[in-house]
Amino acid sequence: MTTCLTGKKTYPSPEIAEEALIGAWVTFDFRAGTGPVAVYQCEDCGYYHLTSKGEMNEKLAHHIAEGKIRRLKEADQWSKKFRK
């Protein structure tokens, strides 16, 4: 994986970064106003990073509004239980 002088994780395309953004919301419990909400292209490395600043990514907002994040989170929790 490529490294960035910012120390942030890098993603090669906006689509992959967007999937990582949604994955973060499925994996972690973010409270209102916390956690990453968008992706951006870094001026230092040219790759994409997640950010907690700015407007919420449209796809993420749509997934939250439709309950998809909640359903994916629940499926992930059940999957972890069955792996034990």
pLDDT digits (tens, 9 = 90+) for 14-48: 999 999 999 999 999 888 788 999 999 999 999 99
Contact 39, 51 (CB under 8 A): yes
Q: What is the pTM of this model?
A: 0.85
Q: Domain map of the chain by residue range?
A: 14-78
Average of pLDDT values for 67-80? 88
> What are the Cα distances from residue 27, in Å, to 2, 35, 42, 46?
23, 11, 24, 26
